[in-house]
Structure 1
Amino acid sequence: MAIINVTADSFSGDGCPDLGSALLAAERAVKEGAEILDIGGESSRPGATMVSEQQELDRVVPLVEALAPLNIPLSIDTVKPAVMRESIRAGADLINDIASFRAPGALDAVCGSSAALSVMHMQGEPGTMQLAPSYRDVVAEVRSFLDERVRVLLDNGVSRQRIVVDPGFGFGKTLDHNLALLRHLEVFGESGFPVFVGVSRKTMLGAITGRDVRERVFAGAAAALLAVQRGARIVRTHDVAATRDVLRVWMAVEADRPPGLAA
């Protein structure tokens, strides 16, 4: 899953300030091997402030409409019910909600659709989530939260086939919390839902490597590989080509023959 940020304040420094640059970024990601595009019109980095509903609609919906003819699955990273609803109308295939559909009206906006839904764990909210995150048992608490949000979706008529779960790396977690979640990622797959992971260029990788956000490509690819080895089905990344190549090498070794060659 390639990240397409239609914002000027993306933490990774690769935000697209207008429709034209966002289209170019999306086309490049597809050429590099992206199989899903994740479009966001509001930054969720630590300390971020919310943008208005209309501003987010103006950023996201025209891009969805422009990309729909490519016939590649489109994910929308939003917490706003109106953006969810209008994005689905425009052709979005997945709603990626860091607030797990807890905003008033969010369930009504998505449950009656056919869109896939990603529920994510976040302690607090983007403006304050990294001030003092605390858990007794981060793996158990995150798993319990995701199970509860999945149950809400199921009780509202969403089929199991539409749901994916995301432990929320970096969303109200310290480095130790993030490492524990990655180390025990298989726990989240035990529920039977596909596991969705986003660690690309995040602060946890900077803390480990000492590298600036733009220099975390190799660390991000390594983390994506570790996640897939532990059961992740979707990896969200700024660096599609590097992540794809790492995963293709691993899959070739696991298959005991190079991809594309006859058995």
Structure 2
Amino acid sequence: MQTPAVRTPTGMFVPDLRHPVHSFGARVLDFDRQVALMAVINRTPDSFYDAGATFALDAAIEASLTAVAEGADWIDIGGAPFAPGSPVSAREEAARIVPVIAAVRKVSDVIISADTFLPAVADAALAAGANVINDTTGLRNPGLAAVVAAAGAHLVITHSLAEPRTVYPRPTYDDVARDVTEFLLRKVDEAVALGISEDRILLDPGHDLNKNTLHSLEITRRFSEIASLGFPTLAAVSNKDFIGETLNRPKRERTEGSLAAAVICILGGARVVRMHDVAASRAAINLTEAVFGWRQPAYLRHNMGSINEPAAP
């Protein structure tokens, strides 16, 4: 059952979260008053966006720490793409992400998620210091929930239809927002039954995952329907194909569209945004939070004194 929510005079949708405050190790997020910025780190040679730029261990660690310095609250580290392709073994996937998690955790209390759907990889990632398992398969493997529950970790449940790394041609929905919402509700019930407490569950409607551009645009427009389920909801919109097809832009020219999509989702109740350009995303989130009244401006000078001093350059 969806929880009540209100739309404020600013136009923002405020979901009535069942558990607004979440603790991720040393970090505490109050999703009633803030939006978390999740940075993307892929240790894959064929990643969707960066084509292997952070596949080398040193490059992945450096990119993670740079993201933290630029304002990321959260680092999402993946070692196997969702997209169709050859399977990556649990051993190989763990070898890719665990050293990065361990290295980042050694020097930072940033929230770390492992983007995986394999229980063995999740177990190794949590042991290395991850706080969250980001499962793009919608809890297809119940064993994953058992690992998360045993560790007392958080779980991101994402809507998708295909088996991992397989083709799912021409996906169709009766009503994409309704179908995604009903799927996520079923998966929440399943996760709770498998031992994960509600205060450790986040949801992701899965932009572009077994969805065409029209589906992803509709999910963006109707994001409040997913957010109204009462769980902190993640918008993974950065540089996705629905942005490229809408704007006719290649992957490297989708930053503006990605920022627009992220802000639209925040207005619809998103409380985590998964982005590649951390510095630009941090600025967009900070300004949005200031408009909502959740954050004070960095300084006040313009028209604040007896002389109309110009703002600092």
Range of TM-score over shorter length: over 0.9
Equivalent pairs: percent with the same residue? 38
Q: Does 1:111 align with 2:155?
A: no
- Alignment correspondent of 1:10: 47
Give TM-score scaled by structure 2 length.
0.79
- Which residue pairs with 1:183 in the alignment? 221
Distance 2:286 2:122 in 1: 33
Any conservation in 2 of the 1:77–1:97 contact (CA below 8 Å)?
yes
- Displacement of 1:158 in angstroms is 1.4
Letter in 2 for 1:57: A
Hey, what does 2:94 align to over in structure 1? 57
Matched, 1:93 2:145: no
Query: How many angstroms apart in 2 are the aligned matches of 1:216 and 1:130?
Result: 25
Over residues 52-76 of structure 1, what are the superposed CA-to-partner deviations in whole Å (9 max), with x where a residue is unaligned? 1111010011111111121111011
Q: Could you list the runs of 5+ residues in structure 2 that have no partner in the other structure?
A: 1-37, 301-313
Change (3 A) 1:188 1:129: farther
Structure 1: gaps spanning 5 or more residues: none
Query: Deviation of residue 106 (structure 1)?
Result: 1.7
Match of residue 48 from structure 1: 85
> Is the partner of 1:112 in helix, strand or coil?
helix
- Equivalent pair of 1:126/1:171 in contact (CA under 8 Å): no
- TM (normalized to structure 1)? 0.94
Distance 1:196 1:167 in 2: 8
Q: Distance in 2 between matches of 1:81 and 1:27?
A: 26
> Larger RCO: Structure 1 or Structure 2 (Cα < 8 Å, ≥ 6 residues apart)?
2
Q: 1:223 — aligned with what? A: 261
Match of 1:33 in 2: 71
d(CA) in 1 for partners of 2:278, 2:86: 27
Q: Please tell me whether Structure 1 or Structure 2 has the larger radius of gyration of its CA atoms.
A: 2
Measure how far apart 1:247 and its partner are: 1.9
1:147 aligns with 2:169: no
Could you give the per-residue CA deviations for residues 38-59 of structure 1, whole angstroms, max 9, x where no partner exists? 00001123x3332111110100
Paired residues, number: 261
1:23 match: 61
Identify the range of structure 1 (241-250 vs 56-65) with the bigger mean alpha-carbon deviation. 241-250
CA RMSD of aligned residues (A): 1.7
Quick check: 1:235 aligned with 2:258? no
Which consecutive aligned stretches of 4+ in structure 1 deviate over 6 angstroms post-superposition?
A: none
